[in-house]
Structures are given as structure tokens and as C-alpha cells.
């Protein structure tokens, strides 16, 4: 064990009653980890804006959904590895390795000459992202007292506001004037700031292993994580191939995926057991339905309504502010005992937003409708995502924070991967792969049906989340 890993950790109880997330002890840590979130947010908004052009130039529109789902597939393995790593040796190493892999994946995608290399870069990036997100949750669990966790989760959401507004504008402008590759190649330059700010502060406040942590990694969980990634990858391949032969990889993927998921998620997750199982299930339903729908919106606006990349990205920009507003609202102490109704309200708003978005496929519907819908959908996501994070940490013992955070992120990432794969398969099968420029032939009706299929799938999943949101109440967490 290195000197960094053996450092003792200042327990959360040392925080003074009047100390906040920007108090003297936690200020550097809070700024550092929020900077990491800002980097991830800028990547997500910028890359999503540039993706339609990248897919067309690499002759890979039929694999458009795969470019997103490939990220989430490898992130599943990174999440479990990070949970093991952080629970045994602290979150510092996992976070540093994750940021490095994240940057390497961006460089690989930015220099790709074929769609499969581009997707490979997204996969490397996803592995790094999986390491980072779980490590951040463990940092919050270890360094912040329970009363401050809603506030730091709200700060995470606030970290998306500026990237959500600036990211699409910058990415659209860069893509139109310099080319889409510079969007990917430019982001790694932003890695230095989070590293300089976050890593020393994490080493001081949450660098070492918790008391009673096991010394060795649990190899069974690592194998199960590989099984999840492999199974999800096979299902995605089968969904994109769409030939009779594809039944074989689909069956193999299910055979590997299902037992691995059942073993890694808490018992009762898929029957929405009250408490922790429903928290983890709801996270997947909310994130998967929302991300699958959002990923296709820029392509829909560019190809069906003729918007520029910049304008298509900006149609979603206001969502960053409303997401932060929803997260801020759930952090208010007086609303703590109303968390369950807030989460249910959030899921209703998410479902309504996804159901409204495909209305812009009708030429007479103004494009600004999608901006309005996504604003209230993001507000709902701010309520749901931050609340599920707070609930998870309150239900986790210190030595289980990493594994439970990994389970939450597995639910999130697996749902994203599977719904993007399913939506992408439906999109390709119904003619979406034929899109090649700014203005698909609306008279054929094919592309419109292809886009609509993605939103129908997402809205059905989100509607299930409305029901699950009523099952978060436990004796320890009353809503």
C-alpha cells in the first residue's frame, strides 16, 4: 500500500455545526470535485452536439445509438472496479485513473478514421467515466457529513449549468468552422484543472481506506462486472445487426448478463422492493429513459427540422439550469420529509417531457416546444437524480458506500446502454440509418417513424418509474 493509501481519513463527524460545503475544511475538496463534474458535463453537452456530424462523416449513422451505448457498456465494468478499489484503498487512485482513461478515449475518438474506431474511443472514455463517478460518490460519503450531502449533490447539478449553455454553442461553432474532431481533441486540455484541484484535497479528506476495509479485491464481483459489459455488448451487437443470425449473440448476451446483474444488484431490485432496491431501480429507469431520448434529439432537429448543430444543441441548453434548480430544491432542509413526493413529481415531469419531444416531427409544431419540454424534464431529473443519490448514501454503511454506489451506477449505466441499444435498433430497422444529411425526405415517413420509436420506448420506461417512485419509503427514510 502506498503512502497516500495509508493516510488516515478525517471522519465526517469532525465537521463543525456551522461548516458548509465551502467551509475552510471542505472548500478545496468541494471546488475540486465539482470541477471534475464540470469536465464531465462539458464533454456530455459538447460531444452530443458534434455527434450527428461525426456519425455522417464516418458513414456510421446506422450505428449512431451504438456510439452512445458503447460508452455506457464499458462504464459498467469501471463502476464495479471503482467500487472495489474505493472500498479497499480509498477513492483517490480510482479517480486519477478514471480521468486519465476519460481523456485517452476522447483522443482516440477524435483521431478515428472509421466508425468502429470512434466507438472504441467512446468505450475507453466510458471505462474512465465509470471509475470517476463511483469514486466521486465515495468521496462524498467519506468526507461530508450526512446533513451536507444534499448540498454537495446540488452543487454537482449546478456544475452542469454553464457547460449546458456554453457547451452546445462552443461545440457547434467549432464543428462548423474547424471540424467535429476538434471538439473531442480539445476537451482533454481541460483535464489538468480538475486533477490539480481535486486530487490533493481528496488525499487529505478521503484518501485512505475506511476502518475495517478488506485488503483484497473480490474477484467474483470483477468477473460479474465483466459479464455485465460482455452481455450488454452482445445485445447491442445483435440489435444493430438485425439478421436472423443475431438471435445467437442476443441469447448469449442474455445468458451472461442476467445472472451477473442479479448477483451485483441488491435482492429485490427488479421487483421494486421498498427502500434501497427501489432507489437503485428508479435511478436506472429515470436515467435510461431520459438519456436514450435526449441522445437522439440533436440528430432529429438537424435532419428533420434543418437546424444547425449549434441551434440543435442550444435547444437543450436551458435544461442545465432547470436541472440545477431541481437539485437545489431537493436539498432544502424543510423538504427532507417530502423527498418521496418530490421524486414522484420529478418522474411525472420526465415522462411528460419525453412524450412531448417527438411533437417536433410535425412540421407545423414550433421547434421551441422541445426546448420548453426539456426544461421541465431536466427540472424533474434534478429532483430525481440528486434525491436517489442522497437516499443511497443514507442507506449505506461506510464500508458499503463503494459497492452500493457501484450498484446505483450499474443500474444507471445498464439502463442507458440497453435503452440506447434498443432505441438504436428500432431506429435503424425503421429507416433511420438512411439519413445522410440536413433534410431527410419527410415525404417517406420512414425517418419520422424511426425517431418516434425511440421516444415511445423511453416514455414507457419513464412511466414505470412514476410507480417505482412511490416505493422509496423505509423505516429509516421517511418521505
Q: Rounded to whole angstroms, how far apart are CA atoms 359 and 328? A: 30
The single-letter DSSP state of residue 209 is P
Cβ-contact 427, 240 below 8 angstroms = no
- Does the global pTM surpass 0.85? no
Q: Rounded to whole angstroms, how far apart are CA atoms 70 and 199? A: 28
Q: Rounded to whole angstroms, how far apart are CA atoms 270 and 227? A: 18
Which residue from 391, 92, 137, 130 is spatially nearest to 266, judged by alpha carbons?
Answer: 391
The single-letter DSSP state of residue 191 is G
* Confidence (pLDDT) at 408: 85
* Cα dihedral 99→100→102→107 (10° resolution): 140
The H or E element containing residue 71 is helix 64-89
* φ and ψ of 3, to 5 deg: -60, -40
CB atoms < 10 A from the CB of 105, how many? 25
* Confidence (pLDDT) at 345: 94
CB atoms < 10 A from the CB of 368, how many? 10
Which residue from 435, 304, 431, 444 is spatially nearest to 370, judged by alpha carbons?
Answer: 304
Which residue from 282, 315, 286, 284 is spatially nearest to 300, judged by alpha carbons?
Answer: 315
The single-letter DSSP state of residue 475 is S
Cβ-contact 326, 380 below 8 angstroms = yes
Q: Rounded to whole angstroms, how far apart are CA atoms 42 and 162? A: 8
Q: Rounded to whole angstroms, how far apart are CA atoms 96 and 475? A: 37
The single-letter DSSP state of residue 266 is P
* Confidence (pLDDT) at 456: 93
Q: How far is CA 184 from CA 121, 130, 380, in A?
A: 10, 19, 29
Q: Rounded to whole angstroms, how far apart are CA atoms 435 and 303? A: 7
Using H for helix, E for strand and C for coil, what is the string for 398-455? HHHHHHHHHHHHHHHHHHHHHHHHHHHHHHHHCCHHHCCCCCCCHHHCHHHHHHHHHH
Q: Rounded to whole angstroms, how far apart are CA atoms 392 and 239? A: 33
Q: Rounded to whole angstroms, how far apart are CA atoms 231 and 236? A: 9
Q: Rounded to whole angstroms, how far apart are CA atoms 310 and 9? A: 45
The three-class DSSP label of residue 144 is: coil
Mean pLDDT per 10-residue interval, the chain, length 479 residues: 31 47 78 83 78 84 75 83 81 86 91 89 90 85 81 78 75 82 82 73 67 61 83 76 75 88 87 89 93 87 80 74 84 78 93 93 89 92 88 75 77 83 80 53 59 92 93 56
Q: Rounded to whole angstroms, how far apart are CA atoms 30 and 341? A: 29
The three-class DSSP label of residue 188 is: helix
Amino acid at each position: 500500500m502506498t503512502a497516500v493509501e495509508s493516510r488516515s481519513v478525517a471522519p465526517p463527524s469532525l465537521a463543525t455545526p456551522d461548516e458548509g460545503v465551502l467551509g475552510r475544511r471542505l472548500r478545496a475538496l468541494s471546488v475540486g470535485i465539482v470541477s471534475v463534474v464540470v469536465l464531465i458535463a462539458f464533454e456530455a453537452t459538447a460531444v452530443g452536439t458534434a455527434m450527428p456530424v461525426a456519425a455522417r462523416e464516418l458513414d456510421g449513422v446506422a450505428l449512431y445509438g451504438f456510439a452512445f451505448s458503447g460508452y455506457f457498456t464499458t462504464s459498467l465494468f469501471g463502476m464495479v472496479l471503482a467500487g472495489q478499489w474505493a472500498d479497499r484503498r480509498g477513492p483517490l487512485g480510482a479517480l486519477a485513473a478514471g480521468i486519465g482513461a476519460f481523456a485517452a478515449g476522447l483522443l482516440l475518438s477524435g483521431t478515428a478514421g472509421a466508425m468502429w474506431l470512434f466507438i472504441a474511443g467512446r468505450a475507453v472514455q466510458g471505462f474512465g467515466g465509470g471509475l470517476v463517478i463511483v469514486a466521486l460518490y465515495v468521496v462524498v460519503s467519506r468526507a461530508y457529513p450526512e446533513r451536507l450531502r444534499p448540498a454537495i449533490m446540488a452543487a454537482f447539478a449546478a456544475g452542469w449549468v454553464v457547460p449546458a449553455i456554453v457547451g452546445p454553442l462552443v461545440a457547434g461553432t467549432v464543428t462548423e468552422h474547424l471540424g467535429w474532431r476538434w471538439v473531442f481533441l480539445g476537451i482533454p486540455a481541460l483535464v489538468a484543472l480538475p486533477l490539480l484541484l481535486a486530487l490533493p484535497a481528496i488525499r487529505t479528506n478521503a484518501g485512505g481506506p475506511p476502518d475495517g476495509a478488506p485488503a483484497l479485491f473480490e474477484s467474483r464481483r470483477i468477473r460479474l462486472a465483466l459479464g455485465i459489459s460482455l452481455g450488454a455488448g452482445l445485445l447491442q451487437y445483435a440489435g444493430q445487426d438485425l439478421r436472423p443470425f443475431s438471435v445467437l449473440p442476443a441469447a448469449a448476451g442474455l445468458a451472461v448478463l442476467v445472472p451477473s446483474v442479479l448477483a451485483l444488484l441488491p435482492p429485490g431490485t427488479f421487483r421494486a422492493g421498498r427502500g434501497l432496491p427501489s432507489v437503485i431501480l428508479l435511478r436506472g429507469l429515470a436515467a435510461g429513459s431520459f438519456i436514450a431520448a435526449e441522445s437522439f434529439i440533436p440528430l432529429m432537429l438537424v435532419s428533420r427540422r434543418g437546424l444547425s448543430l449549434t441551434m440543435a444543441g442550444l435547444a437543450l441548453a436551458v435544461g442545465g439550469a432547470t436541472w440545477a434548480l431541481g437539485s437545489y430544491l431537493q436539498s432544502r432542509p424543510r423538504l427532507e420529509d417530502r423527498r418521496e413526493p418530490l421524486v414522484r413529481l420529478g418522474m411525472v415531469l420526465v415522462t411528460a417531457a419525453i412524450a412531448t419531444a417527438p411533437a417536433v416531427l410535425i412540421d407545423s409544431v414550433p421547434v421551441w416546444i422541445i426546448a420548453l419540454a426539456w426544461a421541465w424534464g431536466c427540472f424533474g431529473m434534478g429532483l430525481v437524480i440528486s434525491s436517489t443519490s442522497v437516499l443511497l448514501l443514507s442507506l449505506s454503511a461506510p464500508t458499503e458506500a463503494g459497492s452500493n454506489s457501484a450498484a446505483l451506477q450499474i443500474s444507471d449505466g445498464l439502463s442507458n446502454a440497453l435503452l440506447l441499444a434498443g432505441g438504436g435498433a428500432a431506429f435503424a430497422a425503421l429507416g433511420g440509418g438512411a439519413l445522410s444529411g440536413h433534410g431527410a425526405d419527410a415525404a417517406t415517413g420512414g425517418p419520422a417513424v424511426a425517431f418516434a420509436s425511440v421516444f415511445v420506448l423511453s416514455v414507457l420506461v419513464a412511466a414505470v418509474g412514476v410507480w417505482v417512485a412511490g416505493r422509496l419509503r423505509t423505516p429509516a427514510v421517511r418521505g
